[in-house]
Structure 1
Amino acid sequence: MPVEGVPRAGGRGTAAVVLTTVCAAVWGLTSCGGPPGARNGAEAGSTPSPTTSATVELPPPHAGFDYQIGGAYPPPAGVRIVSRDRTATPAPGLYNICYVNAFQAQPGAEKSWPADLLLRDTNGETVVDDDWDEALLDIGTAVKRKRIAARVSEWIDGCADKGFDAVEPDNYDSYTRSDGLLSAADATAFITLLSRHAHARGLAIGQKNTVELAGLRKRAGLDFAVAEECGEYDECGEYAEAFDDRVVVIEYTDSGLRKARAAFGDRLSIVRRDVEVSTPGSADYVRRTR
């Protein structure tokens, strides 16, 4: 992500695998009832699920939605849910989701992280998401997850202090870009730490993309989904089933919008945005709901 608030638009990077295959590969299970303990010193024996969502406000289902993580502006008429970057302020009177880049470092910001918290390959080189020039954070051990979560939790605190209702941690799927150095178990263990903290601060927490882990959402403490291009890639149904239709959908093509609306237009919150998620007045700005 070039700057905070510029999204992973159109670059989902989601591994299209069957959930049971993920579970079997990671934990040796044939279903997703949960791991006996994650690898590399993960939180074996920890509480099996984080604080429930009973104490937080969930986004309204099938409500008008706008994705503004590229820059805040007055929400269009009919919008009830808005997602904005953590550096922005919430939109008054609406349900506000706070975008946080949690699993990777912003371009240039990797220098602000301790060197040992950046994922490195066997040659000692930092592993980078080439699409967005972002260094991956090393969530491969319990100790490192705790240290990284402490910093991300400060950002979550900022979201709560500003009055956001929920948080959207991006790059849950970074393990799919780690050249096999990180696993799905690492990702779920890390996001579970974030969900516990978000719930403790009264915030709901959304799963960003990563459809292959949607079946683990209760164990990870995730309350709703933020799905990019699930219409385009025929994934909306999996999110809808896992999250009881509490899904906000961003499509970046007209064909994706048509597909999402045709199948789920009466159930999910769907918007068509431009890839840069730009603001009105920009030559690239696109926002449509039909």
Structure 2
Amino acid sequence: MNTRTLLTAVSLLLLLAGCGTAPDDRSGSEGEGADRWRPRPGIGWQWQLSGRLDTSVDVPVYDIDGFDQSEKTVTALHRDGRKVICYLSTGAFEDWRPDAGDFPGSVIGKGNGWEGERWLDIRATDVLEPLMAARIDMCRDKGFDAVEPDNMDGYKNTTGFPLKAADQLRYNRLIARLAHDRGLSVGLKNDLDQIPALVDDFDFAVNEQCAQYDECADLTPFIEADKAVFHVEYELPTGDFCAESRRLKLSSLLKKYELGAWRRAC
């Protein structure tokens, strides 16, 4: 009897005896993600992408840079009872990242307004899928709980490519699947117009400046689905948006554009 047959026989005997269950062959895919973290509306968080990481903020969720922060840092945050989100840019090229040389020029478009960043041709999934899979593998291997994929609304911007809404939906769902296949939860970053189509594909949302542009109500499908909305403003004082944020059950912060440690929470 080979090892596989022996294990199967033992499992059947356990089942018949009422002493156990058959082996659970979980692949970590979206359909089998019962154990995947799903943050609920109103949960507190800290978002820090620059400067020396301040781990003293008393909140249950940290959102930090996936490349810059180490497995040791993620482990320490877990030890303190925090969940940790891995920030990645999935829709834009960043010329300082260690994998920048892996991106062919054919998929690199116009600048997105931030130094060293340029939009990607998200239609080229044959090129981008393995690159993004490797990045999300990094998040998983460092022990992150979730991914925050940035620049997920290129079709609404001047990218240098004729991107359409259907291209964005297809790409955003690809990123969600890559995260879910690795047992990670994933957030929809901005892309407000496509929330009704994508809310079921994502576990939470991350939004910038919905109060400034009077768009926060567009995020209610996530709240109604019992999924957190992590929200920041940069230019409005907290007195101008916190009352509405609390009413809508958003997890809202005032931050500076460099996204250092400084924060004011609602």
Q: Distance in 2 between matches of 1:243 and 1:100?
A: 24
Aligned counterpart in structure 1 of residue 172 of structure 2, from 178, 191, 196: 191
The residue that corresponds to 2:257 in the other structure is 275
Opposite residue 104 of structure 2, the aligned amino acid is: P
The residue that corresponds to 2:14 in the other structure is none
Q: Are 1:171 and 2:146 an aligned pair?
A: no
Opposite residue 241 of structure 1, the aligned amino acid is: P
Q: 1:158 to 1:111 in 2, by over 3 A?
A: closer
Q: 1:158 to 1:189 in 2, by over 3 A?
A: same
Q: What secondary structure is seen at the aligned counterpart in 1 of 2:130?
A: helix
The residue that corresponds to 1:116 in the other structure is 106
Q: 1:163 to 1:196 in 2, by over 3 A?
A: same
Q: Are 1:232 and 2:212 an aligned pair?
A: yes
In structure 2, stretches of 5+ residues that fail to align are 1-28
1:289 Cα deviation after fit: 1.2
Q: What secondary structure is seen at the aligned counterpart in 1 of 2:141?
A: helix
Q: Distance in 2 between matches of 1:262 and 1:222?
A: 26
Q: Distance in 2 between matches of 1:130 and 1:231?
A: 21
Opposite residue 260 of structure 2, the aligned amino acid is: S
Q: Percentage identity across aligned positions?
A: 30
1:180 Cα deviation after fit: 6.0
The residue that corresponds to 2:232 in the other structure is 250
Q: Are 1:287 and 2:263 an aligned pair?
A: yes
What's the C-alpha RMSD, in Å, of the aligned pairs? Answer: 2.2
1:132 Cα deviation after fit: 3.8
Q: What secondary structure is seen at the aligned counterpart in 1 of 2:217?
A: helix
Deviations 1:22-69 (A, max 9, x none): xxxxxxxxxxxxxxxxxxxxxxxxxxxx93564411123212111112
Q: Are 1:104 and 2:92 an aligned pair?
A: yes
Higher helix share: 2
Higher relative contact order (CA 8 A, sep 6+): 1
Q: 1:193 to 1:258 in 2, by over 3 A?
A: same
Q: Distance in 2 between matches of 1:258 and 1:150?
A: 44
Q: What secondary structure is seen at the aligned counterpart in 1 of 2:153?
A: helix
Q: Distance in 1 between matches of 2:84 and 2:113?
A: 30
In structure 1, stretches of 5+ residues that fail to align are 1-49, 120-126, 280-285
Q: Map residues 78-97 of structure 1 onto 2, 5 A cutoff.
A: 79-87=59-67, 88=69, 89-90=73-74, 91-92=77-78, 93-97=81-85
Deviations 1:141-194 (A, max 9, x none): xxx213202111111111111111110110001222225611121111112111
Q: Distance in 1 between matches of 2:128 and 2:57?
A: 36
Contact 1:68–1:84 under 8 Å retained in 2: yes
Opposite residue 217 of structure 1, the aligned amino acid is: L
The residue that corresponds to 1:74 in the other structure is 55
Q: 1:68 to 1:181 in 2, by over 3 A?
A: same
Q: What secondary structure is seen at the aligned counterpart in 1 of 2:60?
A: strand
Choose 1 or 2 for highest CA Rg.
2
Opposite residue 261 of structure 1, the aligned amino acid is: C
Opposite residue 139 of structure 1, the aligned amino acid is: I
The residue that corresponds to 1:206 in the other structure is 187
Q: Distance in 2 between matches of 1:130 and 1:65?
A: 26
